[in-house]
Amino acid sequence: MEKTKISSNLKENEVYIRSRCENCADILIRPMRLGDSRKVDCLMVYIEVAVSNMMLDDSAIGKMINHFWEISPEQIQDFVKNNSLGIADVRKFDNMEDAFAALLAGNALFFIDGFDKAMKISSKGYPNMGVSGAETEKVLRGSREGFSDTVKTNSALVRKRLRDTRMKVVETSAGVRSNTMIQILYIEDLVHEELLEEVKERLEEFEIDGILDSGMLEQLTEETWYSPFPQYQTTERPDRAAQELLNGKIVVICDNTPYALILPSSFNGFMESSEDWYHHFEMASFLRILRYLALIMSVLLPGLYLAVIRFHTQILPTNLLLSFAEAREGVPFSSVTELVFLELSFELIREAGVRIPGSLGNAIGIVGGLIVGQAAVSANLVSPIVVMIVALTALGGMVIPNEEFASAFRLLKYMFLFLGGYFGIFGIVLGIYLTVAHLAGLLSFGMPYLLPFVKKGPVKEVGDGILRLPFRKRQFRPLYARQEQKRRLRRRK
Amino acid sequence: MEYVDNNRISHRQLYRQMVLAFLAPVLLCLPGEGRILGKTGIAGTAAAAVFLILYSFFLRRLIPWYSDPVKMLGPVAGRLTGLFFLSYVILAAAYILALTGELVPAVLVTGIPGTVILFFAALVCSFGTRKGMQRRGRMAEVSGGVLLGGVFLMMVLCAGQVRISYLREMTETAVFSGDAFFKSVYGVICGFSGIALLPFILRDVEKRSTVGKPVVMGILTLTGLLAAILLLLPAVLGWNRLQHERYPVLPLLAGADLPGNVLARFDVLWMGFLLYSLLFAAGSLFHYGHQILVRSHMGTGKLWFPTAVFAAAVIKVQGKGIAAVFGQYLSYVFVPGLILIQGSMLFYGKKKRQKKAAGCVFLVLSLLLSGCAAIEPEKRMYPLALGVNTSEAGFSMIYGMPDLPQATGQEKEEKEKDASVLSIAGKDFSEIRERYDRSQEKYLDMSHIQVILMGDQLLESGRWTEFLAFLDKDPFVGENVYVFRTEDPSAVLSWDSGGTSIGEYLTGLLENRLPDQQKKGTTLRQVYHQWYKDGTLPSLPVIVLEKEEIQVYLE
């Protein structure tokens, strides 16, 4: 597409800008005359809230304009050309499209008569929430910082942790109307070049009107779109992002999203928490085992319960079985209906808890869990054991550190529930076979999803399986990193 | 990148695929009635292992022939070779599915028709089998270790049931003959006939020069497991019983106890492991079927191939299904044909070398329709003690039921008490069962019987054999159940045991003692053993009801 050149005639530029910004009340176009004799025509274009008050001395724009009032017209041109004011983030554009992209990114544009370029001057940018705590990935040990809604802030938070110019930040944009800024972060000598190329290709593969969140980007670029398993890992913790960069992975940050996407992702990666790296290896390993057990519980418990009480009663100790039978006495529904009913009720409570603000959400949890559960048992709608099964299943799901990954198992739970309920252990084995077959075929950017449980050669001392090795034993990077840079730890002589 | 540049699998993945695909078919189909057993079986397995290892080296030389048979042998001979292997794959997959369809309703989920089981198994096994070797390799790598570990664990737990006297029976009575030995060797080779498909996979294995090691390890692991099972079976079930069991591996853990009594029985888990291996074997055959079709230039068989397998598994000619003929097919068609084809390849080959919506609705409907067999726990009757005696009608069965509210401490209001003793008479046990089904609201769940009381009249009349034959057919009655004799089982079962059931009372009476004081009761497994051995009964503890007090006299 041919680009519109910026004219050296300010009037022409003003006409073009006004025509493009017609009925855009938030974009302010401010002509002004500067110079000691007020003879130089200038034009400032900016988004109202995104740019600080021009008269304020403490803003770059304010300082610049104040200074331009005191110097001659010739000096103004000279100042602009050479950025003599030393404004940190300043850039010149020779066409309107690039200039408008900068304007819409929250910067001010400065035009001057007789100069055929527009000058972008950064200011405070769009309103944002600033750096806040990580809400969904809470840890007992480790940084409290979380990503914000602004892509630049987010990359700065990662840079703060990796102060090395080998960490590269490549900017691109997606969405023909939203022009959402996307940053690709990687460590130059660790990342596989093919992986980097593939990421870039996939980002450029589609054309969409707008990208409003990284979730949209994720769904558009993932390979197996029908899989419930996330193929990107998300994190809102800069320390986690930095750690994954050190593992040779790529981090993609999308504007307006307080989450970074990490790729390639793996099953085991979703089961890791960033504090696994900070705890002692015994505790970290114990917690990981606990999470795996919780995962099995969250997906299999309802199905196994149904399989056992409906088909394989011989497996239970007699007293336990008799308790189950007695507890179900008088319940009008079949055990499958009963369990589905209670599981869905829990899903409702959970959804309500998320949507309802703050403390009310907690109240909903208590009301739902205690009162509804208790009332349902008293009214003989469900048996107490099923309440326990649903509660344990829910607890298991909550232990999984990544919410999207846990959601995949939330869905699978229903498959196992029906298979166990209608086919017993045979159904459960069918379900496990299907799940393993699906996971075995799943790739995340060419890497098997089941890494490191499936690996080609002998991979020693990486220590990122279910058990975490002591730090001093973890001498090598995972397979994601280039093999010539595989050593991450060595003893100084 | 390492993972995107080829479609190769690692040695570990190859090893685990072999173990997963052969484990259940070999353990289920080789030992048993009229097949491989005892000393000759173990010796035959060892000899077959040596042969299979040598054969695997030979197979490595045939990789180019399997890569593109049409190119190597010409369009006609190449396609005929493809068809030969394809017929094996179809029949083998059908056999495994038919086996699943036979075993699952019999020992795992009663009430669901075998065809439905078979259909779902075929559907799941055909999932994703056309999507590359790496997928199967990863599946095997991720689940093979767990399965192998589980099977080892089960065998270790099973070792607790071993009786040296049972094992001695085998060593003393089993005859070692040359004829039986060669039959065992050939039987094991036929059981491992799937190994002939190895060149299809070896082409996709990395570091092909050292690929022999995982193959040899796989053969050794599998034949080692088979030999261990052949040793365990007579030591656990007894030599004579073994000769009458069609699938003796199935009840292997029926009498095993888990430390801590976390689960009453865990043979369901054992069957679960075997079932997963069966599914993997069928899935592998689907995969190879696709490979053969593609390499023989016969299309992809996306739809017709699974349909053909399903049809071969279901269709019966003159009442005989694939299960009845597959053994003969292996012995008289496939293995000899294989020797012929592979031999000619070697001879011929010196010069030339190298090479959704409607379905969903249907599935959901099938799922719902097939699931009516499940019975809720409160709709089952759980006799904890079973009495049996002769009566005027023929036999009488007395079921000792627990008083649920009292047993569980969950007394619900306005609830009628279950009858604690139920007595039904009939001319034989089938009629008693029919009468129960006609007269009782709840399903009879015999899986929690703790004690069996045989009446003196029954024992003296000699008709106890009919009772044992009836019990032997019910896979849900555990073999760790204690067996007693008494004059009047009905009176013992009606005795007020003070809140606990008579089953629990008698079990407690034998077990709730310090280890050196524990009384040795007779279990159902011991009864079976003696019965299969010489048609007699072991001595049973006697229960005498004296002055409203129970006395148990051990031998």
pLDDT at residue A408 tops 90: yes
Distance CA A277, CA B127 (A): 38
How many CB atoms lie under 10 A from the CB of residue A192?
25
* B387 phi, psi to nearest 5 deg: -110, 145
pLDDT at A486 over 90: no
Please report the DSSP string for B102-156 in residue order. HHIIIIISTTS-HHHHHHHHHHHHTTTTTS-HHHHHHHHHHHHHHHHHHHHHHHH
pLDDT digits (tens, 9 = 90+) for A421-443: 999 999 999 999 999 999 988 88
Tell me the residue type at A455: K
> pLDDT band at A179, cuts 50/70/90?
confident
Mean pLDDT for the stretch of residues B188-213 = 85
Give the list of residues 6+ apart from residue B241 with CB closer than 8 angstroms, or none.
B248, B528, B529, B532, B533
From B11, which residue of chain A is nearest by alpha-carbon distance?
Answer: A456
Q: Are B388 and B397 in contact (CB under 8 A)?
A: yes
Q: CB of B66 within 8 A of CB of B200?
A: yes
Q: Is A305 helix (H, G, I), strand (E, B) or coil?
A: helix
Task: Say what the pLDDT of residue A156 is.
Answer: 92
pLDDT at residue B281, rounded to an integer:
93
Smallest CA–CA distance, residue B373 to chain A, in Å, is 8
Q: Determine the pLDDT at residue B128.
A: 76
Return the axis-axis angle of helices A96-104 and A10-20, rounded to nearest 10°: 50
Helix then strand count (H, E) for chain B reads 24, 10
Burial class (CB in 10 A: 0-12, 13-18, 19+), A55: exposed
In this prediction, residue A206 has a pLDDT band, given cuts at 50, 70 and 90, of confident
Tell me: cis bond preceding A264? Omega within 30 of 0 counts.
yes
| b/e map A112-151, b = 16+ CB within 10 Å | bbebebbbbbbbebeebeebeebeebebeebbebbbbbbb
What is residue B404's predicted lDDT score, i.e. its pLDDT?
64
Does A436 reach chain B within 8 Å, measured CB to CB? yes
Query: Which ipTM was obtained for this model?
Result: 0.73
Q: How far is A237 from chain B (nearest CA, A)?
A: 28
CA distances from B15 to A61, B18, B23, B211 (A): 70, 5, 12, 10
Give me the residue from A194, A423, A455 closest to B109, CB to CB: A423
Confidence bin at A33 (pLDDT 50/70/90): confident
- Residue B408 structure tokens: 């569980």
Asked whether the beta carbons of residue B376 and residue A318 sit closer than 8 angstroms, the reply is: no
Q: Is A224 on the interface with B (CB under 8 A)?
A: no
- Mutation pick from A268, A326, A385, A418 vs chain B, by most beta carbons of B within 10 Å, is A326
pLDDT at A459 over 70: no
Summarised one tens digit per residue, pLDDT across range B145-195 is 899 999 998 888 888 888 888 888 888 877 778 888 888 898 898 889 888
Residues 6+ positions from A156 with CB-CB distance below 8 Å: none
- Which residues on neighbouring strands pair with residue B317, listed in sequence order? B320
Residue A116: closest CA among A8, A17, A9? A8
B138 to chain A: closest CA residue: A440
Chain A hits for B366, Cβ within 8 Å = none
Query: Do the Cβ atoms of A428 and B272 come within 8 Å?
Result: yes
Question: In whole angstroms, what is the distance from residue A313 CA to residue A158 CA?
Answer: 55
B280/A433 Cβ within 8 A: yes
Residue of B nearest to A446 (CA): B4
pLDDT, tens digit (0-9, with 9 covering 90-100), for A61-79: 777 777 777 777 777 777 7
Q: Is B226 helix (H, G, I), strand (E, B) or coil?
A: helix
> Does the structure show a pLDDT above 80 at B1?
no
Nearest to A422 among B374, B448, B450 (CB): B374
Task: Taking residues A306-329, report their average pLDDT.
Answer: 86
Whether the CB of A378 is below 8 Å from some CB of chain B: the reply is: no
Position B415 scores a pLDDT of: 47
CB contact under 8 A, A456 and B2: yes
Q: Which of A200-209, A315-324, A408-417, B493-502 has the lowest average pLDDT?
A: B493-502
Q: Around B96, how many Cα atoms within 13 Å sit in the side-chain half-sphere?
A: 31
Q: B-contacting residues of A 390-429, CB under 8 Å?
A: 418-419, 421-429
Q: How far apart are CA A73 and CA A85, in angstroms?
A: 15
Chain B (104-133) residues lying within 8 Å, Cβ to Cβ, of chain A: 104, 108-110, 112, 117, 120-121, 124-125, 127-128, 131-132
Please give the mean pLDDT across all residues of chain B. Answer: 82
pLDDT for A291 equals 94
Q: Which of A386, A425, A454 is the best residue to mutate to test the B interface, defined by the most B CB atoms within 10 Å of its own CB?
A: A454
Query: Which residue spans within B416-548 are E strands per DSSP?
Result: 421-426, 443-444, 451-455, 482-486, 522-523, 542-546
Q: Which two tokens stand for residue A122?
A: 């950064």
Domain boundaries, chain B: 10-89+130-267+327-363, 377-410+418-553
CB-based contact (8 Å) between B206 and chain A?
yes
Overall average pLDDT of the B529-548 stretch? 86
pLDDT at A305: 94
Q: Which tens digit of pLDDT belongs to each residue from B278-314?
A: 999 999 999 888 888 888 888 777 788 888 999 999 8
Tell me, what amino acid is at A430? L
Of B108, B124, B370, the CB nearest to A422: B370
- B241-286, pLDDT tens digit by residue? 888 888 888 888 887 777 666 777 778 888 899 999 999 999 999 9
Q: What would the mean pLDDT of A145-164 be, rounded to a whole number?
A: 90
Q: What is the mean predicted confidence (pLDDT) over B193-207? A: 84
What is the pLDDT at residue B5? 47
pLDDT at A173 over 90: no
Neighbouring residues of A219: CB distance < 8 A, sequence distance ≥ 6: A225
- pLDDT for B353: 46
pLDDT over 90 percentage in chain A: 25
Residue A157: band (very low, low, confident or very high) from pLDDT cuts 50, 70, 90 = very high
Neighboring chain B residues of A453 at a CB cutoff of 8 Å: 141-142
**Three-class SS of residue A180?**
strand
Average pLDDT value for chain A: 85
The better pLDDT of the pair B425, A68 is held by: B425
The whole-number pLDDT of residue A39 equals 74
Task: Report yes or no: B134 at the A interface, CB cutoff 8 Å.
Answer: yes
Res. A19 pLDDT band, cuts 50 70 90: very high
Q: Tell me how far apart the alpha carbons of residues B292 and B87 are, in angstroms, rounded to a whole number.
A: 10
Pick B112's closest partner by Cβ from A306, A319, A423. Answer: A423
Confidence of residue B346 (pLDDT cuts 50, 70, 90): low
Count helices and strands in chain A by DSSP H and E runs: 16, 12
Q: Which two tokens stand for residue A156?
A: 């700065």
Q: Is the pLDDT of residue B349 over 60?
A: no
Q: At what angle do helices B267-295 and A403-441 cross, to 10 degrees?
A: 50
Q: What pLDDT was estimated at residue A185?
A: 95
Reported as a pLDDT band with limits 50, 70 and 90, residue B352 is very low
Cβ contacts (< 8 Å) between B112 and chain A: which residues?
A: 423
Q: Are A114 and A8 in contact (CB under 8 A)?
A: yes
Tokens of residue B444, six digits: 């009879």
Distance of alpha carbon A255 from alpha carbon A213, whole angstroms: 7
**B346–chain A nearest CA distance, Å:** 32
Residues of chain B with C-beta less than 8 angstroms from the C-beta of A483: 2
- Between strands B395-400 and A443-444, the pairing is unpaired
The tokens for B350 are 């010196």
Distance from CA of A275 to the nearest CA of B (A): 26
Amino acid sitting at position B434: E
CA distances from B281 to B93, B141, B151 (A): 8, 14, 16
Please answer whether residues A13 and A7 qualify as being in contact, where contact means their C-beta atoms are separated by less than 8 angstroms.
Answer: yes
Are B485 and B387 in contact by the 8 Å Cβ rule? The answer is no
Instruction: Assess whether pLDDT exceeds 50 at residue B130.
Output: yes
Can you give the pLDDT at residue B355? 44
pLDDT-derived band of residue B555, with 50, 70 and 90 as boundaries? low
> pLDDT tens digit string along A334-389?
899 989 988 998 888 888 877 777 667 777 777 777 777 888 888 888 888 898 89
Task: Report whether pLDDT(A417) > 90.
Answer: yes
For residue A322, pLDDT over 90 is answered with no
pLDDT, position A1: 66
